């Protein structure tokens, strides 16, 4: 193959690579109810889903039921509105069923 063509292809490949998205690490023990309430709805859903999975694992459950996830999210939002300084994880484990 033509050497110039290989160099051009390599250069094109190098500049067309998209940078990887930054990873975000969240210590779930440190999220307060206020921080949860201030988060955008998409992030609230993600956090609530993660905590729901954590909660299920503590009970050795391997099922995910959407109705319980929705109910628990509504319950924790109501609780957090009254207890904004509390830990979100502790609050979830206290009020979710």
Query: What is the value of pTM for the model shown?
Result: 0.68
Cα–Cα dist 3/71, whole Å? 63
Burial of 17 (0-12, 13-18, 19+ CB in 10 A): exposed
Residue recorded with tokens 């992030």: 43
For the chain, the straight-line distance linking the first and the last C-alpha, in angstroms and rounded, comes to: 66
The full set of domains in the chain, from first to last, is 21-95 (1.10.890.10)
Higher pLDDT, 63 or 82: 82
What confidence tens digit (pLDDT) does each residue in 31-44 have?
999 999 999 988 88
Q: What is the pLDDT of residue 38?
A: 95
What is the per-residue pLDDT for 87?
Answer: 93
Answer yes or no: are the C-beta atoms of 33 and 78 closer than 8 Å. Answer: no
Q: What is the pLDDT of residues 3-49, one digit of tens each?
A: 665 565 555 555 555 555 666 777 888 999 999 999 998 888 888 88
Using DSSP's 3-state secondary structure scheme, residue 72 falls into helix
Alpha-carbon distance values, 32 to 10, 62, 80 (Å):
48, 27, 9
């Amino acid at each position: 193959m033509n050497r110039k063509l290989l160099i051009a292809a390599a250069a094109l490949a190098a500049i067309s690579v998209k940078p990887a998205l930054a990873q975000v690490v969240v210590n779930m023990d440190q999220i307060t109810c206020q921080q949860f309430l201030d988060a955008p709805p998409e992030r609230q859903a993600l956090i609530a889903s993660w905590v729901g999975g954590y909660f299920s694992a503590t009970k050795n459950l391997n099922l995910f039921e959407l109705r319980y996830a929705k109910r628990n999210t509504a319950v924790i939002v109501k609780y957090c509105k009254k207890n904004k300084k509390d830990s979100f994880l502790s609050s979830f484990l206290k009020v979710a069923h």
